[in-house]
Structures are given as C-alpha cells and as structure tokens.
Amino acid sequence: MNSDMRILVVQEDTEKAQHIIDALSEAGWHDVQALSDISFLKNSIQSFDPDIVLIDMENPDRDTLEHISMVSDTRSRAVAMFVDQSDSDLTRAAMNAGLSAYVVDGLKMNRIKPVLETAIARFQIMRQMRSELDAAKQALTDRKTIDRAKGILMRQRSLSEDAAYKLLRKAAMDQGRKVIDVAQALVTAADLLI
C-alpha cells in the first residue's frame, strides 16, 4: 500500500465524507480531499490531481457513470465507486466506463482499505495491459511501414526483401536514426511522388 497517494472523496454529505476521511486516515492515507458536489469533479481533479477517486453515491445512473469516466480520466487514475443498489446493466456500464471498483451495498468503513487496495491493483493491471496493447499496436504499425518501405526499395532498385531491409538499416545507422524513422521518411517521400 502506498500511503503517499492522493485521494479525492466524492460524497455530498459532509459528515459522511468526514467519516470516510477518518477511515482513510486510519488505513494510512493522509493526503485526502473531499468534494460534496460532483458537478465540480473535473475542476477538483485538475487542481488536486488525485491518484484515486473514491465516490460514494446512492443510485447513480448511466449518464452519471459516463460523466465520471470522462472527467476522472480512468486511464490515468483508479476510480472506486460505492453504491447502495444497482442492477446488472448499471454494473456493466460501470465496468465499461473504466471504474476500477464498483461496490454495491454501500460504503462500509471496514471495507475501505481492502476495496481501495483491490481497485489500485486492478487499475495497475489494466494500465499495464493497455500499455502492452498500445506497444503491440505500434509495433504492428511500424512493421507495416517498414514492409511498405522495403516494397518501395524492392521495386525501385530491384532488390530482394533482405537486401531492401539491409539498405534501410544501413541508412538508419548512417543517419543515427531508427529504422522506422527512415522507413517512414521513405514512405512519405514516395507518397509525395505518386
């Protein structure tokens, strides 16, 4: 558990918000701010830049979930939501919105620490998976660009695929650039000439 995390508590009842802050403090988290009006969520997130947003609401609707997802930037921080009741459609919408935890049956003070730790762990796993997916997509895009550049060299200079790649690699080394950068420049130049 990282006790240096900044936590934003969203709870319209200030007394209940204070109980949550006290429970977080007992759990070892001290950099906590409370927000009583969810319409100011975006501004609070921009000014406080929390690591995790803890939202305690009775009955959110789908629009509220989408709003929370957009302004909380669920790709950048964990978001845990506690609700009093829900249905399967709303639960699915919460997960699709990117919430790290969606806990039905309200917020129980003795569950705050394990739920937040789980939300943080789930967020980190999801962030790692997104990062790996983005890297894989970029590698595929780069591979396609390099293949296209090789194709251009093969046609223009009557080279084999291996010879075209060696030429790209040599040009990259000579210029102190990456192979993908040389390939992209070649593809761009070829597009201009067509």
Q: Would residue 22 count as lying in a domain?
A: yes
Contact at 8 Å (CB) between 88 and 62?
A: no
| Residues in Cβ contact with 190 at an 8 Å cutoff, skipping those fewer than 6 apart | 152
Domain assignment of residue 113, yes or no: no
Residue 52: inside a domain: yes
Strand bridging mode 52-57 / 78-83? parallel
Over the stretch 134-171, which tens digit does the pLDDT of each residue have?
999 999 999 999 999 999 999 999 999 999 999 999 99
Give strand pairing partners of 8: 33, 53
Taking only the tens place, the pLDDT of each residue in 85-130 is 777 888 888 888 788 888 887 788 778 888 888 888 888 888 899 8
Question: What residues have CB less than 8 Å from 3, skipping those under 6 apart?
Answer: 28, 29, 30
Q: Residue 146 and residue 168: Cα distance in Å, rounded? A: 9
Q: Is the domain of 93 the same as that of 186?
A: no
> What is the domain-level CATH number for residue 84?
3.40.50.2300
Say yes or no: 143 and 74 in one domain. Answer: no
Q: Helices (H), strands (E): how many in the chain?
A: 7, 5
In the chain, the amino acid numbered 47 is S
Residue type, 27: A
Within this chain, do residues 137 and 92 fall inside the same structural domain, yes or no?
no
Among residues 61, 89, 107, the one where a domain terminates is: 107
Q: Are residues 26 and 73 in the same domain?
A: yes
**Together in a domain, 59 and 145:** no
pLDDT tens, position by position, 11-62: 989 999 999 999 999 888 999 999 998 888 888 888 999 999 998 888 777 7
